[in-house]
Structure 1
């Protein structure tokens, strides 16, 4: 898959989004990340591997600890991709706002041309 698809796939799961929200507060160990969830450590590790594959997290090494940290570059890529669509839809909505006025002007012109 391409990097954007990896990122969107990783963000599709609520558990992974919760892990990212926790990491937005600072580094955490796997045990700290697993604490609020009712899933096994291997289950959390699978989520972390998906986040790591999408480059949304990285794992450091401090002695025997491997703290996880949030990596924001993939999120910035998603934001850039969404910005293109946001611009497109804003243009559509702007044109839609002016449409009733255009229709009213056409109706007025039609009324004036009647004998």
Structure 2
């Protein structure tokens, strides 16, 4: 079960690295297409999306520290914190922006947390 938890957590990390890129450096090109925005919307939303991308970067950073920290207990704590934050942010995004966010963010994070709990 530990291997499954690791794979799921890595998937959540990779999803968030992609989200960070979409919301920051790729927002005006690929991000606009993924989010289905017009050119006018892109110009208005670009600063806010860049800021949102920064916050998603913090989520990815917490998960990365979870993988890289030399003390396993500390790494696990970062991983649980990061996954819990991703799950909560996904719920909020689903309520306020688009229901699809629940399946892209929250479900994978909860599956990873569940697998981690079962691995203990």
User: TM-score by structure 1 length?
Assistant: 0.27
In our comparison, the structure showing a higher alpha carbon Rg is: 1
Higher strand share: 1
More helix by share: 2
